Amino acid sequence: MTFATNSSIVTAFIYLPVKMTQTTATNWLPAAHSSSYRYVYLFPAVLAGLLFPLGFAPFHLPGLAILGIAILFGLLHHASLRHAFYIGFVFGLSSAGLGVSWVYISIHEYGHLHSLGSATITLFFVAYLALYPALITFVYKKLSPKRSFIFSCLLFSALWCLGEFLRATIMGGFPWLLLGFGQTDTPLRYLLPILGVYGASFFACLSATFLATGALSGRYKQYPWFIAFALVLLCPSLLKNQAWGTASASPISVGIIQANLSMRDKWDESLFWQLQQYYQTTTEQLIGKNQLIVMPESAIPVPASYISDFLDTLDNKAQQNGSAILLGILQPAGADEMQLYNAMVSLGQAKGSYLKQHLVPFGEFIPRPFQQLIEWLSLPTANMNHGKKNQSLIEVQNHPIAALICYELAYPLLLRNQLPRAEWIVSISDDGWFGHSFAMYQQLQMAQALSIQTARFQVVANNDGLSSVIDANGDVLASLPAFTAGTLEAMIQPLTGASPWVYLGDLPILLISLFIFSMALLNKKSNR
């Protein structure tokens, strides 16, 4: 297809929904039907919201996420302040409703709450997430200059970046489906080591606003905007061959065990010995052949003190054969063993442990305002303790490593605190809480983004699927299929050095976004 043909198709995708909004807003529809079509302008916002999560795993169609934001931005062009809020809210409802629908599975299937209660909690949670795009569109419409199209694009991108940061921070945060995480399949991935996930979000959003502005411009005025859109997306490719890490030693052989045990079976006491026997058998097959063996989160779901003989046996065999073992297990926080840590412990040629810092609300702890929900949810690990900050790094074969457990993959700063000393990453998970949903795939994509961002190889051990080895470029070198049991063997390269993001964190892009926001505020005040 020619450039003109492609641009015409894109223009139609954005222009038609926006035209629907304009005609509704200007009472183009017959008066007799105006009440029936009062909320027609929200339909394109639903469409834009549904497109957004398709840009992430397991779909891997990042262009659709950018198109969704482009439609959202275009819808604001003629919207009133009130309509802008509604458009953002409906966009958020549909994007979160599809993208994090697995929350319902976790509450209903494993929280043992009835369907209506689970749906109600999920709806409230999705509505909370929808408030962020609603506030973004509201503030944008309030501050956006009418004649400066370039600054409008910058302002919307800055607000999107700040909105994502707030969503990832307030009340513990929920940094799922951050736009930057979805850029692992685009050239914007090369910005991750420099500006982090929020920087990738900023420029992905900026490209979407350029696309929308071009689609809504006149025929001969749209091409500069389309060129700007292409430049924003493609220029980061110039960094493709930039290596931020340096090999520090010979490659390390790694074995990963994936048990694929359902959550119900995993916590079934009658099956406990079968699970222990499975891990012992598979571990013995890998010991001696691999320098590092990794088991997933809560591989054996009892406190370590309950299976001390089993752990001692593995420790001795690993020591004798020169192997290191890392496994997820529950670690007592006190002598009474009533309070527990979600931990990663080491055996054999490894030393140290890691206690999970960022726990999953309702899954691993109950926030104080919701303590009365304990009886409803009945989750077996709702009494977890938070691990302390600045823990000593685990060492494997005399190499310091970074450790993350499950939900922590969504929090890059937890990883940054372990760098640049850590030479690779080990992340363990159990996504059985989320059933056959998008969650497992989305989490693997976040792991890929973190490897790119930090220039480190990563070993991902997941109980129910997609256990993987990821290189420092974010490429999956080897992986086990979802919902299958098995072992995976691969090589990883220890790396030293640090990307700019490791040194500076998210501060540069947040300061840039705050500066743009401040300029918009000053401009608004001066025009009063």
Rounded average pLDDT over 97-116: 83
What local confidence, expressed as pLDDT, does residue 497 receive? 96
**Collapsing DSSP states into helix, strand and coil, what is residue 450?**
helix
- pLDDT greater at residue 312 or residue 24: 312
What local confidence, expressed as pLDDT, does residue 169 receive? 94
For 178-208, the pLDDT digits (tens) are 999 999 999 999 999 999 999 999 999 999 9
For 385-413, the pLDDT digits (tens) are 899 999 999 999 999 999 999 989 999 99
What local confidence, expressed as pLDDT, does residue 32 receive? 36
In which band, very low, low, confident or very high, does the pLDDT at 30 lie, cut at 50, 70 and 90? very low
**Collapsing DSSP states into helix, strand and coil, what is residue 376?**
helix
The domains found in the chain, sorted by start residue, are 3-241+506-523 (no CATH), 252-493 (3.60.110.10)
What local confidence, expressed as pLDDT, does residue 368 receive? 61
What local confidence, expressed as pLDDT, does residue 31 receive? 42
CA angle centred on 433, ends 46 and 331, rounded to 5°: 140
Please state, in angstroms and rounded to a whole number, the distance separating the CA atoms of residues 96 and 174: 11
What local confidence, expressed as pLDDT, does residue 78 receive? 86
User: Counting runs of H as helices and runs of E as strands, what totals does the chain give?
Assistant: 17, 17
* Rg for the chain, CA atoms, rounded: 25
Arithmetic mean of pLDDT over the chain: 88
Check pLDDT > 70 for residue 104: yes
What local confidence, expressed as pLDDT, does residue 28 receive? 37
What does pTM read for this prediction? Answer: 0.91
- pLDDT greater at residue 29 or residue 162: 162
End-to-end CA separation in angstroms for the chain: 48
Q: Residue 237: beta bridge partners?
A: none
Please state, in angstroms and rounded to a whole number, the distance separating the CA atoms of residues 96 and 177: 8
